[in-house]
Each structure stands twice: as structure tokens, then as C-alpha cells.
Structure 1
Amino acid sequence: MRAAARAAKTATDNTPTQLAILHEAGVVDAGGFGLQVIFEGFLKTVEESDPAAVPARPAGSGKALPAQRSLELPEEGWGYCTEFLIEGRGMSVEEIRDNIAGMGNSALVVGDEELIRVHVHTNEPAKVLAYASGVGTLARTKVDDMSKQHRVILDDTVPAEPQGNGKLAVADAQRKRPKIFKGLGVDAVVEGGQTMNPSTNDMLKAVESIPYDEVLLLPNNANVILAAQQVPDLTEKKLYLLGTRTVPQGIAAVVAFNPNRDAKANQLAMAEAANQVQTIEVTHAVRDTTANGVKVKKGDVIALINDKLKHSGSDYGDVVSLALKDIKPESYELVTVYRGDGAKDKDLKVLTEAIGRDFPGLEVEVQDGGQRHYPFILSVE
């Protein structure tokens, strides 16, 4: 055992002569040193001497290793290390693992039906978070820009957190929807809705709560835009207002946010993303009326396309199919159905089956939106 311990130490001490990187750093091979400690521990035990006498660290200067220029940043970047927990009920770890793995690499998805931990390297963290927020409630969300970390290693002059880049404030999020927006990385959410629209002061407080000089504000409700337009005159921050009129537009805009762009560039990219989304809001008429040439009876199922009443009827599936035909569905790929509070399973089934039957080319996803006055809101993109 004494001979083995002595040979292990000799081999470990020689490792810097075998690898230039170890010599440059002034250290020995960590694995070799670990094996040396094991053998020396065995020896001390056999000889009944104090195990604490085993060296706590190997010899060597331990000088800092210069950044390795051979580790060049790939053209597409290293992506984002994205980590979070999903809390829910009846979740399928296998299904979530398969979906997450398709959005990046180095995916680790572990847990059970009520709590799942996710780690993944991806170029689209917002897409990953948007998917996960539809599965359950997100917690301990952490997104690190690995490309920036790499540049910090190569150049310690890179700032850790530029204060000039715009951050996000969102208005009109009802009950469960703040979780969706928070999961997408939004810094401040103003809760509201069709019957409790946030005021100018509510949005101002949200803007002021964000410790950045530049802020992007998304109203996400046509009825809130006018109040939002008053906020820039009341704050010393540089405020970039997006004219998002619906929640699906707001979600599309937030997903397009890129922390590496400046606020103005983000405003333009997010506005473009929002404009590519069609919104169909499905609810019930509260009275007899006629609007946009559409006759409506109290209790009818009605569909609004981008805030305008377009169709009414007695069946969710029929009304939604008519609305989808209006927006030329062949130009789109995905329909996300946000289920509201009180929406019935049977109505959801009728609606999704009608979409699958009449528009087989459209992929359908269902998420818990939590909105109070619309059983279903459809985002078409």
C-alpha cells in the first residue's frame, strides 16, 4: 500500500509535464490527485495514523490560467442556460422531457407529477418558458446568457448587467396570466382585465418599480392603450410603448424580446411579432344587439376577431370555425387556445375537435389562461 501511495503521488506530480495546460496553470491533474488522496487515506488507515495528515491540496503555484483563445464563440453563440421548477398536478415527466429536449440540448428534466425541475441549454429561452408556463406554475426561473459569460472570460471589461437595455412592463393580466408573463421574464405585471382596466397611475407605478432607465410597456388591451399613452409624460425614464391590443399579441411580443438588443430595436422587433398574431376572443352576448352587420341574441356564442365582432351562433365549434375561415388559416400554423375560468371541458372538446376537423393543417395547443370574461381566447400565428 505504501508503494502504491508513493507511486500515485509521483504520477500526480508529473502530470504538469504531460499536459501543457496544467503546466501553464501551475496545477496538477485533479483526477490524479484524487486517486493519490484515496491511496494515502488507505495507507494512513492501515498504519493507524491521523487521516487528517493527508494533504488537503496538491502542490503547485495555482496561478490563474489565461483565457483560452482556442475556445472561440460559435457563430450561433452558446445560447442560454435555462433553469426552473414547474409546479402542477398530473404532469407527465416523460412528455415534458421530450418537448424540452426538442428545444435545446443538455436537457435535464426530473421530478414527479407535482414538481419537475428543468435544466436546458437553448437559443430560445422564451419559447421554453412559454411552453412550461402552459404546463404548470413556474418557480425559481433562472436564465443565463452563456455567450456573455464566455465573453466575460475572454474580456473582463464586458459589463455584467447594462442598465441601458430596456426591461418589460405588462398591463392587463388577469389572475393566472401574471404567471404566464412572469414566466416569460417580464419584470412588472399590472393586473387588470376588461372590467377592471389598469389606470395610468397603476402602469406608472409598475414602470417606476423597474430599476432600469429604459422600459417597454405593453397594454395588451385596446381599452388600456389611451391610459398607457399618458405614462411617458409622467416618468423620467425612457419609455417605449407598444400598441398591443390583446393578450396573444402581448405574449408574441414578449417572446420576441431579446435582452442583447437595445430598447428601440426590441420595440421594433416586438411590434412586428405582435402584428403577425391574429386574436379570436370567444364569449357570450349579454344582450340583443347588432354590430358590424352581425345580429346577436342574448346568450349567443360570439367571436371577436382582433376586437371586432364578426360571428355569432349557438355552438362554440361552429362559431370558431367561421372566425378561423375569415383570417385565411392557410397562412398560419399554430392555434393556442387559452382556457378561461369557468370554461367547461365539453365546450373545450367541441371547440378543439371543430378546429381539427375543419383545419387539419393547424396545430392546436391548449393553455390555462385564467381570464374571467372570455371562456376561450385563441392566438393564431
Structure 2
Amino acid sequence: MPQTADDLDAVAVRTWCSLALDALGREREAIDAINVYPVADGDTGTNLYLTVESAAAAVEAVFAAHETGTSVPSTADAVRAMAHGALIGARGNSGTILAQLLRGMAEVLAEGAGAGRLSLALTRAAASAREAVAHPVEGTVLTVAAAAAAAAERPADGAGAPAVVRAAYEGARTALDATPGQLAVLGRAGVVDAGGRGLVAVLGALVEAVSGRAPERAYEAPTAPAPAAAVAGVAGDCSAGDGPQDGPAFEVIYLLEAGDQAVERLRTRLDGLGDSLVVVGGDGLWNVHVHVDDAGAAVEAGVEAGRPYRIRITHFAADRLHARPEPAQRAVVVVVPGDGLGGLCAEAGATTVLARPGEPPASGELVDAIRRAHAREVVLLPNDGDLRHTAAAAAEQARAEGIRVALIPTRAAVQGIAALAVHEPDRSFDEDVVAMTAAAGATRYAELAVAERQSWTMAGICQAGDILGLIDGDVAVIGEDVPETARKVLDRMLAAGGELVTLVLGEDVPDALADRLEEHVREGYLAVDTVVYRGGHQCAPLLIGVE
């Protein structure tokens, strides 16, 4: 239940995230529809939803770690998790700016969350977001955030937190209604700023989380969105730079591990490469967003500054020309644990989602991949048993959008490879799904991992540093080195028969290991073939499939 206390505690932060996600889920399509500045790609609502979904997931993870009786996280832990989750999951320019707004609030609320601190948090949020944008423009989400902060300072001394957040919400509403008069592209299209409208939804959720009641006046746009034809060529989703309609062709986004000085140099270089530059974050982790014509140069700049990852490059020139291709009949969306497998699956025609250790993709990320596949029929391969609920939620949301989705519950990457190998888009959807499901189900899977600590397993007690051989998810072999453990795992799996062994090597595993294991299979098991792939940076030391 939303609280009504004067302090914003961890439970209220959790409630705020949940309510904000619900609000953006309801308004996502409406916000997408008014996304006309400065790239008309119609995704601001979706980007804000995905950003808040990541923030909410991070807060839930903190609560899960404290589920011991009545124990709950501290407010500081909750707001920091919210800010970190938003940072690593930020999408698009508006999502990136929202992440910085939440980070600014977290810096203040981690030290206390009473009414006065809430007002200060909103002020810090607006200031830090404006500093993160290379060339701020009025009439955007930055203007709405500043108005919310100014309004939050007006309640009389002694007013409680509910009064502060209600004032902020009303100030944001008023500022949002004025945005068409501040930014010409909005006025021509007859819409308010899409990012600002999303922020109003987030602040409305904060009102309900703190006061226990939703705002008395739900937001309604003062003017109806213009028809799509009226805004053709008018751009959307950015709050930095009123660039020309034929602006840069690519949106580049990545997370970056780098120091402050390196990031300052990066800002200067990226500002010279393109526009709509927003760099948010701190403490060694940053989210970088820019629009450029040379996407490679933007990524190379990140490599020089530090370690970029989760790199996303979107080409939206076709959106400006309204030259969207006709949807394909069928596509496959695959979750992969390494960039090497991502390349392999992409070569096979699949749309990939990269899953990193400790950072499983959220349902919104899977929905986004299904949309990017741009097909009427989609086969979804999660390749992880822990993703079954997330994948099911993504499939259900995509079905609600009119896409026919079949979820094959693959539990490992090697099962996904087996399913993709028999995929035939020319046969009927049902026949294709049955064949892919059968191939995945006929593939036993194993993984080698390094034990992080002493613990009990199905195979006995392991020590930190031991090599664990997991078969079908359970520890079956404990060894001292990778080659010997791998041979024992293969022997156990092939004892039940098999025709094909698939080996996926991690980045630091030498090719010689694959040669030795292939020789072991050839000498000990007649008529069993072996194929070898490279998994890449994020992959486990060794993945094994037997079918």
C-alpha cells in the first residue's frame, strides 16, 4: 500500500517505481504518438517505460536480498538501486535524462527523505540533468523538471512530503502545457513535449506513493496530437539541440566505465561529431547518448575514454522518410550469453539480445527486440530457465500488439543453437515451432564454471576456485582444471548416447582445448560429430551441448 508518512522510506521508493511503471505502461502509446522532437521515431514512451522497468527491477533485487523476516532495505539502498537501475537500463534521450533526474534525487535522498529533502532532491535532479545535456533547449523535459523543482520550494515551512510532491506535480503539469509555445516544432505539431509528459506521469506516481492517493487531476493534453502526416519530417525524443530535419543518421548509446577526466574529453569529442549529446552517471559508470553520422567514430571515442559496452546503434533515416519496410513473415529472437554467439545467431538471421552475468534482460528489452525483428510471427528463445517468466511477459505484451509469438522454453544457449539450426521460415509457423522445440528438447546442456566460495553441491563440497561441471543445471562434476572436468562432463553426457557435440568456448579459453576435447570424442565415441563456436567476452569458460 502507498504510505502517507512524512518520510520517503524504502517501501515508498519501491511503490513509486511500481506505480511509475504502471503509469508509463498505460501512457506509453500516447507518449510515443506525440514524439516529434527532434527525430520523429515514435519511441519516447517506450524508452521511458524500459528505463523505469530497469529501475524497478533493481529496487526489487535489493528487497529480495533483505527478505529475512521483517527486514527491509534502507532508504539509501533503495534510492541508489533505483538510480543505478535507471542508469544501466536507460533508453533514448528522454530515458537517459530521466536516469540522471533519478540519480540527482538519489544523491540527496540517500542522506534523508523528509519534506525538505524531497524539495532539495528535485532541485538537484533538475540541475544535474541540465548539466548532463550538451546544449539544453527550453520547452523540453528539462524545462518541466525545473518547474517541478521550483514549485516544490513553495509550500510553507512545515508542510509535509505529500504537499511538496503535489506542488511539484502541479508545477510540472503547468510547465508541460506551455511547451508548445516554447519549442516551435511542438507548436507546429500541436503537441506537448513527449519526454515532459512522461516526467509528469512519473511525478504523479510519486504523489500516490507518498500520499496514498493519486493526483486529483489526471493529466490530459491541452491539444490533440497532430496526424502523422502533419508531423512528417519533424523530429522527436530529444531535449538537446533543435537540429535540422535532415540531421545525423544514427543514434548511438552505450554504457561506459571511465574516469571523470576521460569523460570530459569524451564529451568534447562527441559534441564535435554530432548533436543531441547527453552523458549521465558518475562514480566510474556512465550512460552515453549521441546522434551522429559516423557511428563507428562515436564508439571509438568511447573505447579511447574507457570500456564501452551494451552498445546500441539505431539508424533512423528511414523513419524520417517514412520508408519502413513491410514486416517479414517470421523472425527469431534469441537471448545469447556472449557477443560471439550473438554474431553467430545474427548471421543465421536472428535478432539477438545480449545477457550479461548478473544483468538478465528485462521483459521490456525482449519486447523491444521482438519489435525490432519487424515480423508478423516471432519465435522467442530465452536460453535461460530463470528467464521463463520474463520471456512469457514479453511474449504476452507482443501478442497484445498483434504479433504472433511462440515461446520455446530453451534453458541454455546450446538448446537455442539447436533450435535455430532447424528453423525453416518457409514452412508453416506451427510446424516450424514444433521442429525447433523438438530440437531444443533433444539437446542436453552443460556448463563449466568457477566456484566462487566453498559450498555444498549435488556432487559434494566444492572449494573456491574449483571447476564445476553443471549438467542440465545441476553440479555433476567437481574438478581442479578445465580440460579434465570437461572430459568427465562429456563422458557422463555421452554415456546416454548422442550424435552431435556442440562446444562453445569462452573468450579466454585456448583453441587447443577444443582440439583436445574433439579428439577425446572422436577416439571414444564413434559416429559422434563435434562443432566448435566462440562465445565471446561474456560467455562462461565452456558450454557443452549433446544431441
Distance 1:373 1:185, change over 3 A: closer
Higher strand share: 1
Take 2:408 and 2:420, find their aligned partners in 1: how far apart are those partners?
11
Q: 2:430 aligns with which of 256, 260, 264?
A: 264
Q: Which amino acid aligns with 1:178?
A: G
Tell me the equivalent position of 2:542: 376
Q: Which amino acid aligns with 1:206?
A: A
Q: Which amino acid aligns with 2:381?
A: L
Q: CA deviation at 1:378?
A: 1.4
* 1:346-379 C-alpha deviation (Å, 9 max, x unpaired): 5445544544454455333322121535211112
Take 2:330 and 2:455, find their aligned partners in 1: how far apart are those partners?
44
* 1:24-59 C-alpha deviation (Å, 9 max, x unpaired): xxxxxxxxxxxxxxxxxxxxxxxxxxxxxxxxxxxx
Q: CA deviation at 1:272?
A: 0.2
Tell me the equivalent position of 2:467: 301
Distance 1:266 1:337, change over 3 A: same
Tell me the equivalent position of 2:369: 206
* 1:216-260 C-alpha deviation (Å, 9 max, x unpaired): 111011222221010133222121111011111001111111111
Higher helix share: 2
What are the residue-to-residue correspondences of 1:87-98 with 2, within 5 Å? none
Q: Which amino acid aligns with 2:369?
A: A
- Kept after mapping to 2: 8 A contact 1:317/1:353: no
Instruction: Give the SS at the match of 2:475.
Output: strand
Task: Give the percent of matched residue pairs that are identical in Structure 1 and Structure 2.
Answer: 23
Take 1:353 and 1:288, find their aligned partners in 2: how far apart are those partners?
33
Say whether 1:334 aligns with 2:497.
no
What are the residue-to-residue correspondences of 1:85-164 with 2, within 5 Å? none
Instruction: Give the SS at the match of 1:229.
Output: helix
Say whether 1:183 aligns with 2:360.
no
Tell me the equivalent position of 2:384: 221
Q: 1:172 aligns with which of 310, 324, 336?
A: 336
Take 1:315 and 1:334, find their aligned partners in 2: how far apart are those partners?
24
Which consecutive residues of structure 2, in runs of 5 or more, have no partner in the other structure?
1-324
- Kept after mapping to 1: 8 A contact 2:424/2:432: yes
Distance 1:325 1:337, change over 3 A: same
Q: CA deviation at 1:211?
A: 2.2
Take 2:504 and 2:486, find their aligned partners in 1: how far apart are those partners?
13
- Kept after mapping to 1: 8 A contact 2:337/2:535: no
Measured on the aligned residues, the alpha-carbon RMSD in Å equals 2.4
Take 2:462 and 2:475, find their aligned partners in 1: how far apart are those partners?
10
Q: Which amino acid aligns with 1:225?
A: R
Distance 1:244 1:278, change over 3 A: same
Instruction: Give the SS at the match of 1:321.
Output: helix
Distance 1:360 1:283, change over 3 A: farther
Take 2:519 and 2:467, find their aligned partners in 1: how far apart are those partners?
17
What are the residue-to-residue correspondences of 1:229-244 with 2, within 5 Å? 229-235=392-398, 236=401, 237-244=403-410
What are the residue-to-residue correspondences of 1:237-256 with 2, within 5 Å? 237-256=403-422
Instruction: Give the SS at the match of 2:361.
Output: coil
Tell me the equivalent position of 2:441: 275
Instruction: Give the SS at the match of 1:168.
Output: strand
Take 1:194 and 1:298, find their aligned partners in 2: how far apart are those partners?
18
Tell me the equivalent position of 1:192: 355
Q: CA deviation at 1:336?
A: 2.1
Q: TM-score, normalised by structure 2?
A: 0.38
What are the residue-to-residue correspondences of 1:37-76 with 2, within 5 Å? none
* 1:190-221 C-alpha deviation (Å, 9 max, x unpaired): 11133221110100001112222221111011
Take 1:229 and 1:185, find their aligned partners in 2: how far apart are those partners?
22
Q: TM-score, normalised by structure 1?
A: 0.53
Distance 1:364 1:257, change over 3 A: closer
Q: How many residues align structurally? A: 220
